[in-house]
């Protein structure tokens, strides 16, 4: 069971990294890349939006992905699941 949870956390980490990379490229919402962006945003927004609201402003930088990635890797994988 722990292995499955570790793999799911890994997958979510990849989704967040993918979202960060996709944010660098403009995407047509009606095109295939726009559809991928929409799916990735729907999967990552429930975690990133509350963290984004809680963080102080850092100019135009969105630090919420960094905070969530550190939390997932250090707390969830490192301390709870011991992946």
In 3D space, the residue among 62, 72, 70 whose CA is nearest the CA of residue 41 turns out to be: 62
For residue 44 the two structure tokens come to 């990552």
User: pLDDT for 25-42, tens place per residue?
Assistant: 998 989 999 999 999 999
Tally the domains of the chain: 1
Q: What is the pLDDT of residue 27?
A: 87
Range of 19's domain?
Answer: 2-53+62-81
0.75 exceeded by pTM: yes
Tokens coding 1: 């069971």
The pLDDT assigned to 24 comes to 93
Q: What is the pLDDT of residues 67-79, one digit of tens each?
A: 999 999 999 999 9
Average of per-residue pLDDT values in the chain: 94
1: pLDDT confidence band, cut at 50, 70 and 90?
confident
Phi, psi of 29 (to 5 degrees): -60, -25
């Amino acid at each position: 069971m722990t292995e499955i949870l570790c793999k799911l956390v890994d997958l979510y980490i990849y989704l967040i990294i993918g979202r960060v990379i996709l944010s660098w490229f403009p995407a047509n919402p009606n095109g295939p890349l726009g559809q991928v962006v929409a799916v990735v945003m729907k999967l990552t927004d429930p975690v990133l939006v509350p963290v984004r609201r809680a963080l102080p402003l850092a100019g135009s930088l969105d630090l919420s992905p960094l905070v969530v990635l550190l939390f997932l890797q250090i707390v969830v994988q490192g301390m709870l699941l011991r992946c």
